[in-house]
Structure 1
Amino acid sequence: MVNWAKTAVAIKRPIPLVMNWRTGLRLGGAVLAALLLLLGLDVAFPLPRAPLYSPLVLAADGTVLHAYLNPTQKWRMKTELPEITPALQQAIIYKEDRYFRYHFGVNPIAIVQAAGRNLLGTGRTTGASTITMQVARLLEPKERTLGNKILEMLRALQLEAHYSKAEILQLYLNLVPYGGNIEGVKSAALLYFQQPPDYLSLAQTVTLAIIPNQPRILVLGKNNAAIRAERNRWLRRFQQQHLFPDQDIADALAEPLAVQRHAPPLLAPHLARRLVTRFPGQPIIRSTLRRGPQAQAEDLTKNYVRRLHELGIAQAAVLVVNNRTRAVEAYVGSADFQDATSAGQVDGVQAIRSPGSTLKPFLYALALDRGLVTPKLKLPDVPTNFSGFRPENFDKSFSGEVTVERALTYSLNIPAVRVLSELGVSTFTDKLRDAGFRRVAHDAPRLGLSTILGGCGATLEELTALYAALADQGRYAPLTLALNLNEELRMKKEELSGKAAAPTSNSSFLIPHSSLITSPAAAFLITDILAQHTRPDLPLGYQGSARLPKIAWKTGTSYGRRDAWSIGYNQDYTVGAWVGNFSGEGSPALTGTDIATPLLFDLFNALAYNSPNNWATPPTSLDFRLVCAESGLVPGEHCPNQLIDYYLPSVSSAQRCEHQREALVSADGSISYCRACVPASGFRRQLFPNPRPEVLAFREAQGLHATRLPAHNPACRLVRNADDDTGGALAITSPLANAEYLLNRREKQQLLLSCAAGSEVRQVFWYVNDRFLRAASATERVFFRPPSGAVKISCADDHGRNVDIQLQVAEL
């Protein structure tokens, strides 16, 4: 049978549980409603805006390089969490709010005690403000009334709901006043003690902890004696509470307080302005600069330019790059940022200037990679007309023929223009575009052969990055000015763990991307050539001092002597130096060698003195071969003098040397024979020089010995085939092709006709508009009066070769 009594009891027992569940539901609903109400109030009354901080630009090690006033013209530098030392935390919390870590923004006990003291008039009148309430007041300054005090409490509760205790303490330390326009512990530490908060002594830390309560009375630099007395009073109180070791307290009590306000950190002003513009609103920007090299570079540049003022030279810019990371470690935009008379605020690192001859190493590197040249190859250095462009060397002289390495070492213009004409201007400018040359990329369609002589625009930053690629086996990467997020996080972790944070020397993530713009072989050969310079500060070579750094370097001087460049590098650093005037005014003394290079070596000696002098080694892609000493080509049949030269297998030209030609001449040497007319006897074989026509013409014009082949056998009746002739090409050297000439008829002005022909040519024939003018010797200068309008000039030689040019003639 069913026991109904027990069943009834069993049924009745769950009833209290159901009631508890309903009660809990009601309570949960009430809590949820309260939370929704609070959330609604939080949305309706959002937290005040974050404080406006003074932008800070830091060095790579975290020290402050440059500081700016915030938008409200206050020094409010953001104190980062790792900078809040345990000593600073203890001093502030004990002094301001002992129960800070335990209350929820408002301390009820302190409020009751304060209310009692204020109502009864016993003890010191206080407001029972917690650190969180003080943050609320500092974020929204208001008149001190009971109503505003309640609002502070509500804001304190809201702050506690949004931020951790560490973040609230950080906000407090960033907002506390220190008199005048100085706010925050970090601002006070840097402006008065010239150290960040985490580098302060205990005495200095306690000093900064006591001032915010009386910032108008305890003014550092004015009331030091009163501040010291108040500091020591608090130090003794801390000692009684055993907050710090007794010895630390004793040392702090004995520490003097001779402090005054200092100027804010103002290193690297150009880079600081650049980074603050790039990262607007960011309170702390960590650059790649190193404080020591930056300070050295600024001092050396300023002092060096001071000595140049009497020469009419007022400015300079410097860039120092770590080759392994491409991090910029020193950035000097001008000699003196504050020098308004010389436009000191212009950033010379970014200014677009004429690069002079500084692009030549890159040109020769590209030519090496395409097999156009090798170091010992000889190039003509004679007056040359490149389709209307007639370049000159810097010293107005000519060498006849020079090796590639000599042409680069002495920065000769004509060989460089010849190599560029063979390589192609578009090929060259495309590579410069790949290397980050923005102005060149923009102007590329309009650039010509003058580009290699400085006829384009470039910046010191672009050129230094290009040379850093040569230092790094041809690998180009853009320069790094600010540490990226990965590096920032790594350094933050090291700071929090107590390790010394510094950027890694081989951090691959510092280089966003890289590309090979020249082969390692070409980069090595160019470096080897540029390192052969004689150091201006050590005429016997760098070996004379084991402590001075070995470097490769190149100079450049722009047209009109407006820009002087010197850029050098070794395995570790690339240093670029520009000297001139931002106004564009030239100076007779302004040359890369004489003016920019001394500054370059001052910088290198300061940065890399007593360095290991490790140097590049030849890559396996390079090999040696014998070449003719007269031409630099693979030895031919008549090349007794030979030397060793580097070359790139399967890339470098294998053309054989023909600097001498064997000819059949009569016994007396008066006539020469071709194979068709050589007699059975009475002739001999003789070697004759076989220079390029333009080189031969130059030698003859200079009165130098130049042996030509004897005249061809006049009895030979066969028609010669010019295509079978091994002589040099025929070229008209005057007038210029595609040029326009304006002649004064009343003065009976004439045009000069001249040509460059091979050594076998004795006679040439001139034509004007396909009408025969006259015959002349190969070296004779012919003058004539051309007709107006379009004119065709033709020249034929006695070996059947012919060349034409077009020009325009107008009359006054």
Structure 2
Amino acid sequence: MGVVLLVLFTGLDLAFPLPSAPQYSPLVLAADGSVLHAYLNPTQKWRMKTELREITPVLRKAIIEKEDRWFRWHFGVNPVALVQAAGRNLFGRGRTTGASTIPMQVARLLEPKERTLGNKLLEMLRATQLELHYSKDEILQLYLNLVPYGGNVEGVKSAALLYFQQTPDYLSLAQTVTLAIIPNRPRGLILGQNNAAVLRERNRWLRRFGAAGLFPRQDVEDALLEPLDVQRHAAPTLAPHLSRRLVRQFPRQAIIRSSLQRGKQSKAEDLTRNYVRRLHELGITQAAVLVVSNRTRQVEAYVGSADFHDFGSQGQNDGVVAVRSPGSTLKPFLYALAMDRGLVTPKLLLPDVPTNFQGYRPENFDKHCNGEVTLERALAYSLNIPAVRVLNQLGVPTFTDKLHQAGFQSVTRNRTRLGLSSILGGCGASLEELTNLYVTLAAGGRYEGLQLVAPPAATPCPQAPSPEVKEKLTASFSSAKKSSGPLLSLSAEGNREDKATRREPAGQQLISPAAAFLTTDILAQLTRPDLPLGAASSLRLPKVAWKTGTSYGRRDAWSIGYNREYTIGVWVGNFSGQGSPALTGADVATPLLFDLFNALAYNSPNDWFAPPAALDFRLVCAETGLVPGENCPNQVIDYFLPGVSNGQRCQHQREVLVSADGGFTYCRACAPAAGFRRELYPNLLPEVAAYKEARGIAYRRLPPHNPQCQLVRTDAERAPSITSPTPNTEYVLNRREQQQLLLSCTTPSEVRQVYWYVNDQFLRAAAATERVFFQPTPGPLKISCADDHGRNTNVLVTITELD
């Protein structure tokens, strides 16, 4: 008999497949389950899905008592109620009813039809079919998701949020009963319009429920005293940019639980909106903010623009994912990589002088050079020339490969075309990518992707069902397997774990914990130019490590900071790309960063990053930052990575043989047997010596070589280095403006004079640091420079003239 029934119902499923699943309003939740943002469904209705956990015992009792008292006992159709309704309708006694059960109402709500006897019979068949496919709780869930509340509001969750601004599981008894009584009269009992009528009906049903012993007497008395002063509110619209992003990413999920913390999100939106309002008079209209928990990598606040509805300033653009010039924000990552390669340590001195890197001539932000600076000062003061020098030494491919591993998509697409300018903002990056790079520094150099969706909660193991329930479940499952009805996944939709939402354990160590700590230690210093005016004396200055950045043309201002608990990234600018004189990271981005830290992370632990065991101390020469040599009386303590950091000995001074009167020097070949003395002279790099000469900076200069020396010294390594023009370059000059070509070079400190030649024809003699200009002829040119020691260098260029 069971097999026959199974075949019959399977045939019913094939002949009359279940209706399509309801189209729900996409909901984006905060990590705590509260609704952040709601959207209309495709039919322009507010139909927010009520989850099983949101159907409270109070709501369950009120709906079942009012709509279908025998819901738990019948199989979709109540025969007793049918007979009673038929008698009332036939003999005209009592209220005319249709004896509709909750499953029958669900069938009618899924497939609205005219109320006829034939359609009533079809509802009964559908109700029985639903009973075979779903549990009682799932049928009740469907009913509560479809019941009308007037206008375009459907479902108890939609009504609870739009009228009471709470989800159903947070409603009081009076509010729950209010929502239970409206579906039968959605046009007559309209919340916000005729609250008095709704209140009378609510209290009538409360008394009935109290008389039936459905709820405790005291609870009913308290509910009767609760006022009803409600109106329709707008749907929640927090985190509009992330909500839109997640809805597009998971189009089949009715409910998406994000990683955002509601309080932090609301505070970040308010701070950003109010801050940008004060910048409008400076021609700055937008900002974006990202707040990340370093421990979980979960994004806890996501502000894509100052005002999503500000169409004049393109507020619907998402500044978190927009690709912009990162300015100087990549420098900490570069120096950390260079530390891991043993190229630099914090106290190492780097040249900060005008330098030509194969045709690329970077400048510092303030157009000023410092001669030589330590790495920690170069990073703290965000100097450009030392950063380009370190990148040139590390290698652009090594740097861009690491950015590729860190998820920089624009860099990945263009890394074969990127050059030295990438460290100064010559590549593209988003706020999301940059913020996660600093999360990586805070995490000791370990990289993982950011989490926008909260991890699924652990599901408790259910109790074993009774034998009767087992039998029904088995029969339902057998029928459901053969059915093609799309409602099968209805109760699981939105609660299942999508593959894309899983937190994968994958991660990689991009930089060592030691290099990450050293970089953090430098970024936490307060003696730096990008500290906002007056911030150093402020009692609300947060303990953070941070870095600012300003793109070329002052189009983008960045400030990204972190402590042990949080990393916060801030971008300020205009989506149009228009620059502003006031748009710098220090002036307009860092104040907002500090405000966010003080508001969102005020209760963070005070503990700071501790140096890892792999780090050690050593004494280094204060003049170079290298391991002290024979002539290094001034020494300081510096961190280093044992077995990794460069162990080169310092040679900042060299011993020179000088004549008795100090007028000239001797080489080993021409030194006399007596009548000379040994002295120490600075062993400067040629470009540093040339910078000091050009700026008139006093230093102990090496005397000229012995003029009587007969040895011709033409070692190529000491030959002049031509810094202008750039080798193998085409120069386009305007003939009418009579433009000239610059000749310049760097030489060893003993060189006093150089001689310039053009196409092997003598041009003129000049001081070693002198800048020479001449008007070239069109065509190929050979530029030669010889010094007063007989060493020579050549470069080839092409000159093109335009009329």
Counterpart of 2:31? 60
Distance of 2:770 and 2:587 partners within structure 1: 41
Cα distance in structure 1, aligned partners of 2:414 and 2:150? 55
2:757 is aligned with 1:786? no
**Other-structure match for 1:99:** 70
Task: Compare relative contact order (CA 8 Å, sep 6+) and give the higher one, 1 or 2.
Answer: 2
- Pairwise CA distance, 1:653: 1.1
Q: Is the 8 A contact 1:325 1:511 kept in 2?
A: no
Describe how 1:107-118 pairs up with structure 2 within 5 A: 107-118=78-89
- Work out whether 1:75 is the aligned partner of 2:46: yes
Distance between the aligned counterparts of 2:440 and 2:788, measured in 1? 51
In 2, the alpha carbon distance for the partners of 1:392 and 1:537 equals 23
**Which residue is equivalent to 1:293?**
264
Helix, strand or coil: the match of 1:307?
helix
Q: Which residue of 1 aligns with 2:175?
A: 204
Does structure 1 retain, via aligned residues, the 8 Å contact 2:535–2:541?
no
Q: Give the aligned partner of residue 408 of structure 1.
A: 379
Give 2:107's aligned residue: 136
Q: Which one of the candidate residues 410, 422, 426 is aligned to 1:451?
A: 422
- Map of 2:754 onto structure 1: 764
Match of 1:319 in 2: 290
Distance 1:694 1:68, change over 3 A: same
Range 676-685 or range 456-465, more displaced? 676-685
Q: Deviations over 1:424-454 (max 9, x none)?
A: 1111111101100000110111111110110
1:387/1:738 contact within 8 Å kept: no
8 Å contact 2:719–2:793 — kept in the other structure?
Answer: no
Q: Measure the CA separation in 1 of the matches of 2:287 and 2:61.
A: 49
Offset at residue 786 of structure 1 (A): 3.1
Deviation of 1:123 (Å): 1.3
SS in 1 for 2:624: coil
Q: Are 1:555 and 2:548 matched, yes or no?
A: yes
Which residue pairs with 1:695 in the alignment?
Answer: 688
Superposition map of 1:371-450 within 5 A: 371-450=342-421
User: Which residue is equivalent to 1:672?
Assistant: 665
* In the alignment, structure 1 residue 648 sits paired with structure 2 residue 646: no
Alignment partners' CA distance in 1, 2:516 and 2:120: 72
Aligned to 2:485: none
Contact 1:327–1:510 (CA under 8 A) maintained in structure 2: no
Tell me the residue number matched to 2:438.
467
Q: Deviations 1:763-811 (Å, cap 9, x if unpaired)?
A: 3333333455444332233333434222222223344544332221123
Q: Deviations over 1:631-662 (max 9, x none)?
A: 11111222111101111111111122222222
Contact persistence 2:541–2:594 (CA under 8 A): no
Q: Say if 1:734 and 1:462 are closer, same or farther in 2 by CA, change over 3 A.
A: same
Residues of 1 paired with 2:773 and 2:94: CA distance? 114
- Asked if 2 retains the 8 angstrom alpha-carbon contact of 1:709 and 1:759, the reply is yes
Measured in 2, the distance between the counterparts of 1:224 and 1:733 equals 84
Which aligned pairs between 1:212-227 and structure 2 lie closer than 5 A? 212-227=183-198
**Structure 1 residues 303-338: Cα deviation after superposition (integer angstroms, max 9, x where no partner):** 000111111111000000111111100000000001
Are 1:804 and 2:775 counterparts? no
Q: Which amino acid in structure 1 is aligned with residue 637 of structure 2? A: I
Q: For the residues of structure 2 that align with 1:183 and 1:255, how far apart are their CA atoms?
A: 25
Q: Secondary structure of the equivalent of 1:566?
A: strand
Quick one: distance in 1 between partners of 2:115 and 2:592? 61
Against the structure 1 CA distance between its residues 746 and 113, is the aligned structure 2 distance closer, same or farther, given a 3 Å change threshold? closer
Partners of 1:208 and 1:454 lie apart in 2 by 57
- What count of residue pairs does the alignment treat as equivalent? 762
- Are the counterparts in 1 of residues 712 and 789 from structure 2 also a CA contact under 8 Å? no
Equivalent-residue separation in structure 2 for 1:34 and 1:478 (angstroms): 53
Greater mean alpha carbon deviation, residues 258-267 or residues 784-793: 784-793
Distance 1:135 1:744, change over 3 A: closer
Deviations 1:330-367 (A, max 9, x none): 00000000111111100011101010111111111111
Q: Name the CA distance, whole Å, in 2 between partners of 1:677 and 1:476.
A: 60
Matches within 5 A, 1:485-504: 487-490=456-459
What CA deviation, in whole Å up to 9, does each residue of 1:202-261 have, x standing for no partner? 010001000101010110011111111111111111111111111111111111111110
Question: What SS does the aligned partner of 1:510 have?
Answer: coil
Deviation at 1:718, TM superposition (A): 2.6
Question: For residues 525 and 295 of structure 1, do their structure 2 counterparts lie closer, same or farther at Cα, with a shift above 3 Å needed?
Answer: same
List aligned pairs for 1:704-715, cutoff 5 A. 704-715=697-708
Structure 1 CA distance for aligned equivalents of residues 451 and 710 of structure 2: 74
Distance in 1, matches of 2:549 and 2:735, equals: 43
In the other structure, the counterpart of 1:283 is 254
1:392–1:687 distance in 2 versus 1, CA, 3 Å? same
Q: Does 1:159 align with 2:135?
A: no
Q: Which is further off, 100-109 or 777-786? A: 777-786
Unaligned runs of 5+ in 2: 463-500
CA RMSD of aligned residues (A): 1.9
Bigger-Rg structure (1/2): 1
**How far did 1:412 drift?**
0.7
4+ runs of 1 displaced by more than 6 Å? none
1:630 aligned to which of 617, 623, 626? 623
Out of 319, 330, 333, the position equivalent to 2:304 is 333
**How far is the alpha carbon of 1:679 from its aligned partner?**
1.9
Q: 438, 449, 457: which is aligned to 1:478?
A: 449
Distance in 1 between the 2:406 and 2:665 partners?
Answer: 55
Distance across 1 between alignment mates of 2:199 and 2:125: 37
Name the amino acid aligned to 1:349.
V
Which residue pairs with 2:468 in the alignment?
none
Residue 617 of structure 1: aligned partner: 610
Conserved 8 A contact 1:693-1:729: no
Q: Distance in 1 between matches of 2:505 and 2:161?
A: 34
Gaps of 5+ in 1: 1-27, 494-507
The percentage of aligned residue pairs carrying the same residue is: 73
Match of 2:156 among 169, 172, 185: 185
2:447/2:509 contact within 8 Å kept = yes
CA distance in 2, matches of 1:536, 1:771: 54
Whole-angstrom distance in 2 between the partners of 1:328 and 1:607: 13
CA offset digits 1:707-764 (Å, max 9, x no partner)? 32111111222333637x8xx6632122233332234556654423221112122233
Q: Given that residues 548 and 609 in structure 1 are in contact (C-alpha distance below 8 angstroms), is that contact kept between their aligned partners in structure 2?
A: no
| CA distance in 2 between partners of 1:269 and 1:746 (Å) | 57
CA contact (8 A) 1:326 1:510 kept: no
Q: In 1, Cα distance between the equivalents of 2:712 and 2:6?
A: 111
Which residue of structure 2 aligns with residue 19 of structure 1? none
Change (3 A) 1:549 1:811: closer
Task: For 2:722 and 2:631, locate their aligned partners in 1 and report how far apart those are by CA, in whole Å.
Answer: 30
